[in-house]
Amino acid sequence: DGNELTEISDYMKEETTTSGSEEMEGIAKGKNVIFVSLESLQSFVINNKMNGEEVTPFLNDLIGDSYYFENFYHQTEQGKTSDSEFIVENSLYPSPRGAVYFTHSSNDFHSLPEIIGNNGYYSTVFHSNNKSFWNRDVMYDNLGYDHFYSETAFEVTEENSVGWGLKDKPFFKQSMKYLQQLNQKEQPFYAKFITLTNHYPFELSEEDATIDPYDSNSNTLNHYFQTVRYMDEAVEEFFNHLKETGVYEDSIIILMGDHYGISDFHKKAMSQYLDKEYTDFQHVQLQRVPFIVHIPGEEGKTFSKVAGQIDVKPTILNLLGIDDSNDLSFGTDLFSDDRKDYVALRDGSFITDDYVYTKDQCYNKDTGELIEGNIESSDDEEASACGPYMEQVNKELNYSDQIVFGDLFRFYDFGDEE
């Protein structure tokens, strides 16, 4: 009923739906938005080397003239890519189990495609997999996407496929004819591209491997570097296509890692590569994924503040100058100073500017050292540092679940004209 919703919407308006940065507001007004979801890309490879070679030379360069958030966390659970999509589209948390894309695909949402659609945007998704994977065809319809270029829109052959399907390079290349059509007929557009090649078990054809594998006891990690590099090259080619066709100038390009690629099953190999002990603290820090906002003509800047996928929707809306003061979100504009100072992971772990909390323990974020003592005691300032956040994070995850499980937005008037 409406009562629980009042409490939740009051909380969201008060605590998690703040006004965006005035400086950045509307900086990309009327521009096309090209959103690239980078499969399994984690931040630890960015600006890092393997066998003495940069793993992601193109992205490293790109970051130099982009806004880059180096402490940006994925917040996905079992719904993997679809969870990352759900979070970005709605600024709500994914489900603690299963995938919202399957379990609640007919809910009322107030999604990014719908909101920008009301502001003249045509929205599309490009992804060369069966359209019903993750129930995307159903959910995309409900979220208000205008078109989904799925597997059937692409020419997929034995030669241009590996692992899960069409390789990223031909995927971007074949997408260009559609993108150019959009560029001629549907401006401004929002186009989400979901890559595929850098997916577990990180298979690659020999001719596509441009760096050697890593050497550790984990075949998964060893090959991860090679498929990450392939994806980096594919994105570079995509940027070249965008420039050659003139789509680049009228667009902003946002790139985001969807979730981790290397699970804690590969602790030993990861700790060898990082040259660090693999602690629970490290595990949380490894949940960082790249978030890059590239606006042609704007200079780059790297931000260290904590951020998460939950913040993407309000950030995009503010960049486009679309008023979202009537929206309800659990994230805040990443360019605003008036923003949330913590990121909640779906399992209840959280990260603040100073602390990392996971598995009932609070860590100093700078040193990674465990803070001894009782988190819930009020007379030990150091030990209780994580305490207040714990309560808020639990409340927030719980509120989000109530919205999703109870389909509560059907009772809320967002004030949009129909």
Note whether 228 binds ligand GP9 by CB under 6 A.
no
CB under 6 A: which stretch of 20-28, 43-51, 194-202, 367-375 binds ligand GP9?
Answer: 194-202
Helix (H, G, I), strand (E, B) or coil at 322: coil
Nearer to Mn ion among residue 21 and residue 42 (C-beta): 42
129 makes contact with ligand GP9 (CB under 6 A): yes
Q: How far is the CB of 162 from Mn ion (least distance, A)?
A: 16
Nearer to ligand GP9, 42 or 129 (CB): 129
Nearer to Mn ion, 39 or 232 (CB): 39
Least distance CB 241 / ligand GP9 (angstroms): 22
Q: Which of 17, 18, 76, 81 is catalytic?
A: 81
CB of 131 to ligand GP9, least distance (A): 10
> How far apart are the C-alpha atoms of 46 and 72, rounded to whole Å?
13
Q: Indicate whether 195 belongs to the interface with ligand GP9 (CB under 6 A).
A: no
- DSSP lists the bridge partners of residue 361 as 358
**Pairing state of beta strands 165-166 and 301-303?**
unpaired
Is residue 102 involved in binding ligand GP9 (CB under 6 A)? no
With CB cut-offs between 5 and 8 Å by kind, which of Mn ion, ligand GP9, none does residue 17 bind? none
- Omega before 113 cis (within 30°)? no
In the list ligand GP9, Mn ion, none, the entry touching 133 (Cβ below 5 to 8 angstroms by class) is ligand GP9
Whole-angstrom distance, CA of residue 47 vs CA of residue 174: 29
DSSP string, 21-70: PTTTTTTTTT-EEEEEEETT--GGGTT-EETTEES-HHHHHHHHTSEEET
Question: For residues 39 and 327, which CB has a smaller minimum distance to Mn ion in the complex?
Answer: 39
371/362 Cα distance (integer angstroms): 6
Secondary element (H or E) of residue 10: helix 2-11
Segment near ligand GP9 (CB under 6 A), from 193-201, 281-289, 321-329, 372-380? Answer: 193-201
Instruction: Give residues with Cβ within 8 angstroms of 104, minimum separation 6.
Output: 95, 404, 405, 407
Q: Answer yes or no whether residue 133 interacts with ligand GP9 by CB under 6 A.
A: yes
Which entry of Mn ion, ligand GP9, none binds 194, CB below 5 to 8 A by partner kind? ligand GP9
Give the pair of three-digit tokens for residue 215. Answer: 């050497």
Using the contact rule CB under 6 A, the part of the chain among 191-199, 208-216, 291-299, 307-315 near ligand GP9 is 191-199
CA dist 40 and 42 (Å) reads 6
Give the three-class secondary structure for 102: helix
Point out the residue whose Cβ comes nearest to ligand GP9.
80
199 touching ligand GP9, by CB under 6 A = yes
- Expressed in angstroms, the distance from the first to the final Cα of the chain is 23
Binding segment (CB under 6 A) for ligand GP9, from list 192-200, 217-225, 282-290, 321-329: 192-200
Q: Which among ligand GP9, Mn ion, none contacts residue 43 (Cβ within 5 to 8 A by kind)? A: none
Which letter does DSSP use for residue 73 in this model? E
Tokens of 41: 């890309």
Taking CB atoms within 8 Å and a gap of at least 24, the contacts of 3-11 are 4/402, 4/406, 4/408, 5/403, 5/408, 5/411, 5/412, 8/399, 8/402, 8/403, 8/408, 9/328, 9/412, 11/395, 11/396, 11/399
81 catalytically annotated: yes
For residues 73 to 92, the per-residue mask of contacts with ligand GP9, x marking binding by CB under 6 A and - elsewhere, is -------xx-----------
Binding site for Mn ion (CB under 5 A): 39, 80-81, 258
Q: Shortest approach of ligand GP9 to residue 194 CB, angstroms?
A: 5
Q: Least Å distance between CB 214 and ligand GP9?
A: 21
Say how many residues touch ligand GP9, by CB under 6 A.
7
The CB-based long-range contact list for 208-216 (8 Å cut-off, 24+ gap) reads 208/162, 208/167, 208/169, 211/50, 211/51, 211/53, 211/55, 212/51, 214/50, 214/51, 214/269, 214/273, 216/268, 216/269, 216/272, 216/273
Cβ proximity to ligand GP9: between 125 and 362 the closer is 125
Which C-beta is closer to ligand GP9: that of 81 or that of 90? 81
The Cα–Cα gap between 338 and 332 comes to 8
- What, of Mn ion, ligand GP9, none, does residue 85 touch, CB below 5 to 8 Å by kind? none
Among 179, 194, 289, 306, interactor with ligand GP9 by CB under 6 A = 194
**Which of the residues are catalytic?**
81
Chain contacts with ligand GP9 (rule: CB under 6 A)? 80-81, 129, 133, 194, 196, 199
